[in-house]
């Protein structure tokens, strides 16, 4: 008996020791997949990967974890820029939420008002801004100069995201610090649009000095933020702020660099500019490439697609020459859309007749291209009372595209309104379905304290169901309705965030 | 079968022999060398062969042993003459004799054996908390006990089904009626909003893992939907104890905050081998569904709906919907879209279940065994669903001596569960049944060719009016019949649980050491296949023939070491007991998942087949996680004069899921019992003799709940699965939750036990309040500008309170008749006391849209209130749409014209039209908006419970019935909403046949309005009182009397018939009023989405023992 006794006690002791003696270490477990932050931010390669990650987030929601079931940013940008415009109509797969937005009837519960995709990228940028400087101490091969280049990229990208947000929502919370732990979570009030714009201007001008002019390869030059991308964003921001001199200066920086030009308007124009992408005309394009598809198959091409080109686009925006079908605006049939069935073709076609194969939708999303710079310059010139200069730029664009005489206007160069209308119409033709239409309309309409509100009121007749037009016009007369409501989910989780006026 | 049996027995015996040999060997080392000899004969003086002759010491430990030869002779080395020599063999009564100086033994054995019933003498019912056992009458905690007799009658496939409705305060609801579907078990409601509100299951003293890591993609199953409890065969269960109050669960620490279910499996007892065979056969029928439109009615509705919703513009039947054209000159569409298909019926079948269980138990003084083999085959009421389960169990007990005892249990389970393919990630997101409900009824199941001839191919066009197959479950559609038959979602589980237990009496009857080690090897494989013949997708589509294969291997090692101290006090008027227990667990899981698509054929269903792995729906992933916990409990119970009993304990817990600063927690408990009936003042009362027990109990206890995910306190970075501009990118994938703390449940319980009239009345009443501090909220929505949209946080304090009454009555008892009656009643409610500012004040803010109800977070008010508009019917004509003020006079605009009733002016500004729904304008401002939302009902049942009689006649016939009910609770009838909203292309219920169609129609169903209008706002129209009383089971059992059986050489034989879910009395108009109650989430209310309802079942059962 005694034998068992002693042996058992020893075994029990052993179990006890194993169980408790080293339990401090025993409970300390680390994940095997994913890098733990304490082990991160040590080398310049990690900084580079994290900067690239900011761009990657533009293409699709993150593969796992937070936000993985969100729409891609590109999809939001398309919806925000086109749903309230007059260029699209809804297809068979459109949801009632989309119907509501086109009819100027957006409720705060509408998921199209979710801004998380943009803020996710902002947080990635903020993370680089907060942690990359610390790597200087860790990695002696990491230089201040290359740190500054990286920071210029992410701060500009952050500025671009905020620029989209202020145009869609008006006043938005301005978060400039990263969220990495639960202690970083904040509940912010909204920041006034002008203050957000001031931050955007500040970020852009500070970045401009450090940004590179080239990364050495074409893909990065078009897919990442260079000095010229910054100038392009600046031009857009200044136009939005009605600061025409600065807008003009910014446009001229891009033009004078001599690095960009218009792609010749021949039979290869569509394929070169859109299908292949990264052309001489491109300034900043979201670099969709295998294996990540852009979201447009389900939106524009599948049998249950959600969007079609509005009938008005073929008849009024581009028009056609019934005597000579070959004499056509190259941007119209077989480029922006198919006149036949209204398919939005820009992201679907390889050339004017062949469609992409499902699963290989790699057409880029075009944020800025050279034509935009030219027309932004025209807009600045027009508002600086250089109407003639503006008209000559419009003509460069029209000539390249073989725009039809039926769409030509002959405004008095001194009539700012008339020239502006022409620019707006030309922008519709040039940037059809590139997610710019609503922002253009609103920018022109709000100028000089909403002197051109008629632009939006006229829009209603083209974009809203006939029985809802009166109500939509009444709504647009309240300037607050030009911005989308803040999503109910955001309001709910932040008591200090007030709903946008109109939507209370 | 027989062969299996013998081999099982043989392997058991071999194991025992191994132990014997070891013991002998140990003895020899110190042996003295005396030899005794002898001869064993029976009463007829014939030698007995094979008798175990052993030298046994005072602790009954075997020192040496041998067996007699053919002549009955033996020779044995002995160690000490103080020991005894023992002679045992099956079939004879054992015989022992002191050795002393004797060296030759002439032994004569008597025939006969020890019967099972004689061996077990039950004087007090004992109950245990899984760690130590305490007489039930001395329990200071709230618990409920179900014994084997009750278990026997249940025909359920798993224990949770069997317990449904039986115990006060234990709410068990099926997630769905499909085979293998999980049950939601709630003990006293939910104390947590945590994803795991399921109680801890403890099998034979060791925790039994019932969850699958949540990141494992089951396609269908959230972690609650998957039923791991199904891995235990109900026939193997001896009894079940449910620990309800916090003082009881505190012993089990983390995971036990939601209550503990203790399950003990059957064990062998001394006696001849008893073979028991149990058979259960069940047929199940799906109750009829909500009546839906047929094809003709549907096409009429859709045409009208589209015109109404599009300003009078009709649907273009040429381009938009040839499906509705009914054009005989286009035979393809005419036939394929010209049917009256009942899709629900097409996917429904009769369900069959067969369950065979065969077990053998028995044993002698030294060793006892219980072995069983169980086979279950179940086909569900939805086509394409079935479950096959095989379990084997062997429980061995071996007494080395009176002081050392071993137990070794081995359980093996193999389940093979075929489920329907489910699109989406939640079990209710998109069942096939849901699709069948919505599916266009004019479509054909099988395709017609272009000449109008029926073909054997399924009709699965890539796209119809209703859209096409997408990963968005709410808008997706497919051919449900083809999906049910050819879609694959198979879950294969193999689980082996060896459990070793050693008990050692350090000081006999004073200090006992128990040590357990359990290994749980659990392998689960999930294979899915999305067949093109059901979706009709193009062969280039990333979802075309999508395949998935996932494996998860879990390896859990748990240990438990308990030292129990029960000193014999000099004064027998008091007693003391204490124990210390150390517990550890290490849970490793390794996952591998692969998906691909575009395989060449629907027969190639494996991702390893050459196929398209570059699309975003394809993926290859592997991950491994590990969780470790450690716990120590110290507990003591003191009993004075059998009247005052006090128990105090403290538990420390450590968990690897917390960051270093919050890793450990300390949780005390205190409970007591005052037996008033034992007081002297009670003894003097006249009726004192009629009181068997009157006790008051109180308890307070804390227990900690750990988060559900591993490593959440780390801020991690992950890689994007694609490159950007040729370079790989990283992103911060997880926010570091450094501040996450233990969610602590502090429970108070007050209980009364009254036992009267010679135990004919047994009443147990409990009042409780569980207060949860640092309430853990998973995926709390946070402002999106933080870059993350949801995190896990500790958000506040919540109370969970209520009462429970359990009453067992024996109103009549005579020689032939016994009538028993049992009633249980419970009420539970959740109240939020404090909450984090991140927590929203209401679920939708001021916004209102179709289909949305509003719920507010009201501090200090019970949860579950539903707010919405008051539905008042339909605007009959134009005149009735004019807005009226409080006095009933029309409201006019500044120019004196009457204005129409308007929805949400100015942001929506929709003018109600004739045929639209009337909502009550509560403030009479002519504008229906959020201000007009009123209280519509509450989803917390006022009372839940069950009752039922059991009538026994002459011990042969037994009739038992059981009813369960919920009273006073409101449910959002989401199915009613989606089948009467007339808003899209989904099929609708026949109620819409009485819709408003032209001015003057007075009806309660608004006009059909495609994708517009506000006819299905969250309103009183879809909130219904779902109180019900359900006749759950009726069982008639006949036990053949032993006298009859003796001649047949059968020990026991009984047969029974059970009918389940016979009748449900309710005013509820939906399919089934027993809707899963959501727990804890302040805004969640029960919504009826018509998952497969519990079918009506008829079971035939047979139990035979030999």
Reported as a single tens digit per residue, the pLDDT across B204-232 is: 878 887 666 555 554 334 433 445 566 67
- Asked if residue B51 lies in contact with residue B106, where contact means CB atoms within 8 angstroms, the answer is no
Mean pLDDT of B312-334: 77
Closest Cβ opposite residue A475 in set B57, B737, B906: B906
Q: Region B638-655: what's the mean pLDDT? A: 84
Find the CB nearest B717 among A40, A466, A502.
A40
b (16+ CB within 10 A) / e for B976-995:
bbbbbbbbbbbbbbebbeeb
Instruction: Look at residue B957 and give its three-state secondary structure.
Output: strand
Q: Nearest-CA distance from B737 to chain A in Å?
A: 5
Structure tokens at B914: 């004739």
CB within 8 Å: A63 and B737? no
A502 touches B907 (CB < 8 A):
yes
Higher pLDDT, B346 or B930: B346
Nearest chain B CA: its distance from A424 CA (Å)? 28
Query: Six-digit token pair at B777?
Result: 């909220």
Kindly report, residue by residue over B108-137, the tens digit of the pLDDT: 887 764 433 333 333 344 455 555 666 666
What is the structure's pLDDT at B129?
56
Asked if B562 and A15 count as a contact pair (C-beta separation under 8 A), the reply is: no
Q: Does A84 lie at the interface with B, CB-CB under 8 angstroms?
A: no
Q: In this complex, which of B513, B716, B838 lies closest to A12 when CB atoms are compared?
A: B513
CB A439 within 8 A of CB A419: no
Higher confidence at residue B135 or residue A299? A299
Give pLDDT, residue B848: 67
Across the range A224-242, mean pLDDT stands at: 95
Q: Is A30 on the interface with B (CB under 8 A)?
A: yes
Residues of A in contact with B537 (CB under 8 A): none
Q: What's the residue count for chain A? A: 504
Q: Which residues pair with A431 in a beta bridge?
A: none
Query: What residues in A contact B615, CB-CB < 8 Å?
Result: 291, 293, 359
According to the model, what pLDDT value does residue A165 have? 95
Q: Which of A132-136, A224-228, A439-443, B197-201 has the lowest mean pLDDT?
A: B197-201
Q: State residue B220's pLDDT score.
A: 38
Return the pLDDT at B577: 83
Q: Which of residues 36-55 of A touch B (CB under 8 A)?
A: 36-37, 40, 46, 48-55
The structure tokens listed for A71 are 């729409």
For testing contact with chain B, the best of A25, A32, A34, A340 (most B CBs within 10 A): A34
H/E segment holding residue B1090: none
- Name the residue of chain A whose CA is nearest to B612's CA: A359
Interchain CB contact of A287 with B (< 8 Å): yes
Model confidence band, residue B36 (pLDDT cutoffs 50, 70, 90): confident
Q: Are B1054 and B280 in contact (CB under 8 A)?
A: no
Listed residue (B942, B991, B973, B937) closest to B1073, CA to CA: B973
Over range B2-13, report the average pLDDT: 42
More confident residue, B944 or A199: A199
Give B401→chain A minimum CA distance, Å: 9
Q: CB–CB of A179 and B787 under 8 A?
A: yes
* Interface pTM, i.e. ipTM: 0.88
Q: What digits encode the pLDDT tens for the residues B942-979? A: 888 888 888 888 878 888 888 888 888 888 888 888 88
Q: What is the pLDDT of residues B823-875, one digit of tens each?
A: 888 888 888 888 887 777 776 655 567 888 887 777 777 777 888 889 998 99
Q: Which of A34, A48, A122 sits opposite B718 (nearest CB)?
A: A34
State how far the alpha carbon of A399 is from the alpha carbons of A255, A272, A329, A382, B548, in Å: 18, 18, 9, 19, 54
pLDDT of residue B19: 37
pLDDT of residue B631: 86
Asked if B725 and A287 come within 8 Å (Cβ–Cβ), the reply is yes
Q: Mark yes or no for CB contact A489/B784 under 8 Å.
A: yes
* Facing residue for B845 by CB, picked from A108, A119, A122: A108
CA A484 to chain CA mean position, Å: 16
Q: Provide the total of helices (H) and of strands (E) in chain A, helices listed first.
A: 21, 5
Instruction: State which residue of chain B sits closest to A303, comparing Cα positions.
Output: B463
Alpha helices by DSSP H, listed for B198-294, are 246-249
The distance of A258 to chain B (nearest Cα, Å) reads 23
Q: Does a cis peptide bond (omega within 30 degrees of 0) precede residue A291?
A: yes
CB atoms A57 and B515 under 8 Å: no
Res A63: pLDDT = 77
Q: Which chain B residue lies closest to A105 (C-alpha atoms)? A: B908
A14 at B interface, C-beta within 8 A: no
Residues of A in contact with B723 (CB under 8 A): 52, 56, 289
Q: Is the pLDDT of residue A440 over 80?
A: yes
Cβ contacts below 8 Å, chain A against chain B, sum to: 344
On whether any CB of chain B is under 8 Å from the CB of A272, the answer is no
- Shortest Cα distance from A416 to chain B (angstroms)? 33
Q: Is the pLDDT of residue A55 over 90?
A: yes
* pLDDT band for position B672 (cuts 50, 70, 90): confident
Q: How far apart are CA B434 and CA B439, in angstroms?
A: 9
> Residue B526: its pLDDT value, please?
85
Residue of B nearest to A17 (CA): B582
Closest CA to B1090 of B979, B956, B966: B979
Output the pLDDT for position B1030: 87
Q: What is the pTM of this model?
A: 0.78
The winner for highest mean pLDDT among A431-445, B330-344, B609-623, B737-751 is: A431-445
The minimum CA-CA distance between A393 and chain B, rounded to whole Å, is: 32
The pLDDT, as a whole number, for residue A145 is 93
CA atoms of A251 and A234, how far apart (whole Å): 8
DSSP states along B582-609:
EEEEEEEEEEEEEEEB--SSTT---TTS
Q: B149-177 burial, b for 16+ CB within 10 Å, e for fewer?
A: ebbbbbbbbbbbbbbbbbbbbbbbbbbbb
């Amino acid at each position: 008996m005694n034998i068992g006794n002693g042996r058992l006690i020893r075994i029990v002791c052993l179990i006890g020791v194993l169980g408790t003696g080293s339990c401090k270490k025993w409970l300390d477990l680390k994940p095997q997949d994913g890098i733990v932050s304490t082990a991160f931010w040590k080398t310049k390669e990690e900084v580079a990967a994290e900067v690239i990650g900011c761009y990657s987030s533009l293409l699709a929601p993150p593969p796992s974890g937070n936000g993985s079931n969100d729409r891609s940013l590109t999809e939001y940008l398309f919806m925000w820029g086109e749903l309230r415009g007059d260029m699209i109509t809804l297809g068979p797969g459109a949801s009632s939420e989309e119907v509501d937005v086109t009819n100027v009837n957006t409720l705060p519960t509408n998921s199209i008002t979710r801004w998380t995709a943009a803020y996710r990228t902002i947080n990635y940028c903020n993370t680089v801004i907060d942690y990359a400087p610390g790597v200087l101490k860790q990695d002696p091969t990491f230089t201040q100069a290359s740190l500054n280049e990286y920071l210029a990229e992410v701060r500009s990208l952050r500025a671009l995201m905020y620029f989209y947000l202020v145009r869609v929502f008006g006043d938005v919370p301005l978060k400039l610090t990263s969220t990495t732990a639960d202690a970083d979570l904040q509940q912010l009030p909204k920041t006034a649009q002008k203050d957000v714009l001031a931050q955007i201007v500040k970020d852009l001008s500070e970045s401009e000095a450090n940004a590179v002019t080239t990364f050495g390869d074409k893909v990065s030059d078009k897919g990442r933020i260079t000095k010229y991308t910054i100038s392009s964003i600046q031009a857009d921001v200044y136009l939005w702020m009605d600061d025409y001199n600065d807008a003009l200066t910014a446009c001229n920086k891009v033009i004078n660099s001599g690095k960009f030009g218009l792609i010749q308007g021949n039979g290869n124009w569509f394929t070169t500019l859109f299908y292949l992408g990264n052309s001489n005309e491109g300034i900043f394009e979201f670099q969709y490439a295998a294996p990540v598809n852009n979201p447009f198959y389900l939106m524009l091409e599948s049998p249950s697609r959600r969007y079609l080109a509005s009938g008005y686009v073929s008849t009024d925006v581009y028009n056609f020459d019934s005597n000579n079908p070959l004499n056509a605006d190259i941007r119209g049939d077989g480029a922006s859309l198919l006149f036949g069935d209204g398919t939005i073709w820009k992201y679907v076609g390889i050339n004017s007749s062949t469609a992409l194969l499902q699963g290989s939708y790699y057409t880029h999303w075009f944020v800025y291209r050279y034509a935009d710079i030219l027309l932004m310059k025209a807009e600045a010139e027009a508002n600086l009372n250089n109407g003639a200069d503006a008209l000559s730029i419009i003509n460069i664009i029209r000539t390249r595209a073989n725009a039809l005489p039926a769409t030509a206007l002959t405004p008095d160069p001194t009539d700012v309104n008339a020239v502006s209308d022409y620019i707006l119409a030309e922008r519709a033709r040039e940037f059809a379905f590139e997610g710019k239409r609503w922002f253009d309309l609103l920018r022109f309409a709000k100028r000089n304290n909403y002197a051109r509100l008629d632009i939006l009121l006229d829009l209603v007749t083209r974009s809203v169901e006939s029985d809802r037009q009166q109500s939509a016009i009444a709504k647009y007369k309240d300037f607050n309705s030009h911005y989308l409501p803040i999503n109910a989910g955001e309001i709910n989780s932040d008591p200090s965030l007030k709903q946008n006026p109109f939507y209370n | 079968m027989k062969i299996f049996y013998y081999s099982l027995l043989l392997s058991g015996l071999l194991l025992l022999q191994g132990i014997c040999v070891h013991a002998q060997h140990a003895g020899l080392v110190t042996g003295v060398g005396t030899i005794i000899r002898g001869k064993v004969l029976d009463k007829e003086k014939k030698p007995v062969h094979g008798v175990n002759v052993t030298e046994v010491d005072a602790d009954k430990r075997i020192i040496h042993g041998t067996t007699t030869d053919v002549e009955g002779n033996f020779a044995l080395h002995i160690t000490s003459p103080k020991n005894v020599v023992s002679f045992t063999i099956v079939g004879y009564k054992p015989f022992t004799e002191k050795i002393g100086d004797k060296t030759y033994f002439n032994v004569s054995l008597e025939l006969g054996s020890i019967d099972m019933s004689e061996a077990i003498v039950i004087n007090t019912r004992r109950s245990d908390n899984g760690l130590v056992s305490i007489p039930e009458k001395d329990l200071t905690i709230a618990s409920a006990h179900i014994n084997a007799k009750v278990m026997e009658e249940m025909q359920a496939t798993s224990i949770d089904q069997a317990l449904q409705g039986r115990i006060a305060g234990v709410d068990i609801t099926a997630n769905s009626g499909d085979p293998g579907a999980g049950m939601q078990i709630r003990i006293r409601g939910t104390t947590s909003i945590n994803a795991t509100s399921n109680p801890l299951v403890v099998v034979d003293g060791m925790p039994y893992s019932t969850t699958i890591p949540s990141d494992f993609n089951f396609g269908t199953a959230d972690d609650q939907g998957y039923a791991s409890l199904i891995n235990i065969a109900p026939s193997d269960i001896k009894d079940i104890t449910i620990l309800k109050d916090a003082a009881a669960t505190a012993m089990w620490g983390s995971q036990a905050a939601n209550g503990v279910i203790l399950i003990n499996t059957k064990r062998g007892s001394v006696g001849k081998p008893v073979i028991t065979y149990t058979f259960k056969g069940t047929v199940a029928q799906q109750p009829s569904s909500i009546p839906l439109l047929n094809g003709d009615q549907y096409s009429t509705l859709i045409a009208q709906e589209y015109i109404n919703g599009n300003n009078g513009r009709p649907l273009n039947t040429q381009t938009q919907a040839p499906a509705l054209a009914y054009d005989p000159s286009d035979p393809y569409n005419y036939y394929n879209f010209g049917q009256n298909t009942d899709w629900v019926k097409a996917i429904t079948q009769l369900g069959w279940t067969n369950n065979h269980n065969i077990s053998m138990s028995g044993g002698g003084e030294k060793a006892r065994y219980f072995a069983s083999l169980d086979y279950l085959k179940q086909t569900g009421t939805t086509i394409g669903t079935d479950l096959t389960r095989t379990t084997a169990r062997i429980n061995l007990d071996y007494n080395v001596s009176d002081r050392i005892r071993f137990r070794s249990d081995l359980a093996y389970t193999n389940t093979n569960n075929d489920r329907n393919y489910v699109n989406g990630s939640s079990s209710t997101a998109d069942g096939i049944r849901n699709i069948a409900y919505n599916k266009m009824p004019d479509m054909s199941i099988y395709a017609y060719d272009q000449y109008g001839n029926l073909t054997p191919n399924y009709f699965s066009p890539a796209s119809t009016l209703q859209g096409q197959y997408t990963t968005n479950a709410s808008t997706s559609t497919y051919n449900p019949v083809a999906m049910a038959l050819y879609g694959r979602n198979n879950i294969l589980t193999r689980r082996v649980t060896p459990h070793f237990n050693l008990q050692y009496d350090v000081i006999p009857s004073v200090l006992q050491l128990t040590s357990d080690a359990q290994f749980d090897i659990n392998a689960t494989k999930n294979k899915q296949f999305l067949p093109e013949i059901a979706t009709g997708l193009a062969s280039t589509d990333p979802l075309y023939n999508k395949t998935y294969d996932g494996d998860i291997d879990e390896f859990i090692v748990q240990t438990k070491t308990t030292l129990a101290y029960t000193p014999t006090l000099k004064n027998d008027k008091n007693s003391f007991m204490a124990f210390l227990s150390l517990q550890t667990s290490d849970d490793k899981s390794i996952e591998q998942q692969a998906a691909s698509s575009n395989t060449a054929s629907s027969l190639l269903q494996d991702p390893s087949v050459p196929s398209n792995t570059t699309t975003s729906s394809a993926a290859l992933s592997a991950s491994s996680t590990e969780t470790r916990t450690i716990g120590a409990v110290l507990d003591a119970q003191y009993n004075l004069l059998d009247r005052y009993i006090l128990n105090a304990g403290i538990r420390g817990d450590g968990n690897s899921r917390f960051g270093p600063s919050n890793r450990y927690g300390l949780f005390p408990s205190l409970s007591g019992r005052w037996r008033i009936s034992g007081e002297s003042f009670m003894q003097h009362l006249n009726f004192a003799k009629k009181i068997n027990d009157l006790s008051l109990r109180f308890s307070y206890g804390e227990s900690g709940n750990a988060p559900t995910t591993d490593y959440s306190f780390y801020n991690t970075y992950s890689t994007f699965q694609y490159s950007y501009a040729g370079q790989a990118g990283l992103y911060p994938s997880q926010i570091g939750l450094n501040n996450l703390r233990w969610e602590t449940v502090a429970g108070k319980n007050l209980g009364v036990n009254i036992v009267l009239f010679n135990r004919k009345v047994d009443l147990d009443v409990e009042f409780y309040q569980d207060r949860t501090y640092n309430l853990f909220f998973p995926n709390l929505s946070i402002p999106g500008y933080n870059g993350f949209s949801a995190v896990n946080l500790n958000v506040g304090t919540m109370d969970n309170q209520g009462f429970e009454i359990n009453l067992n009555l024996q109103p009549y008892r005579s020689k032939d008749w016994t009538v028993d009656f049992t009633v249980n009643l419970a009420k539970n409610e959740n109240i939020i006391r404090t909450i984090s500012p991140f927590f929203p004040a209401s679920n939708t803010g001021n916004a209102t849209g179709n289909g949305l109800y509003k719920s507010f977070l009201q501090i200090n008010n019970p949860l579950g209130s539903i707010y919405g508009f008051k539905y008042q019917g339909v605007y009959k004509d134009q005149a009735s749409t004019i807005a009226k003020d409080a006095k009933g006079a029309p409201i006019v605009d500044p120019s004196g014209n009457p204005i129409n009733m308007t929805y949400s002016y100015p942001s929506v500004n929709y003018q109600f039209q004739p045929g639209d729904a009337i909502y009550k304008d509560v403030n009479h401002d002519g504008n229906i908006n959020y201000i007009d939302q009123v209280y519509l009902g509450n989803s917390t049942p006022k009372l839940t419970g069950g009752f039922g009689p059991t009538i026994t006649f002459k011990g042969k016939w037994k009739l038992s019935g059981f009813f369960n009910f919920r009273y006073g609770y409101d449910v959002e009838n989401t199915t009613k909403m989606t089948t009467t909203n007339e808003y899209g292309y989904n099929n609708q219920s026949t109620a819409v046949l009485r819709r408003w169609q032209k001015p003057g129609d007075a009806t309660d169903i608004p006009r059909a309005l495609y994708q517009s209008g506000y006819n299905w706002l969250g309103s009183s129209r879809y909130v219904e009182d779902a109180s019900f009383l359900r006749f759950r089971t009726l069982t008639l059992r006949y036990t053949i009397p032993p006298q009859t059986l003796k001649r047949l050489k059968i020990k026991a034989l009984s047969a029974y018939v059970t009918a389940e879910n016979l009748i449900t009395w309710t005013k509820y108009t939906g399919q089934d009023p027993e809707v899963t109650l959501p727990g804890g989430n302040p805004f969640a209310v029960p919504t009826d989405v018509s998952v497969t309802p519990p079918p009506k079942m008829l079971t035939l059962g047979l139990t035979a023992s030999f």
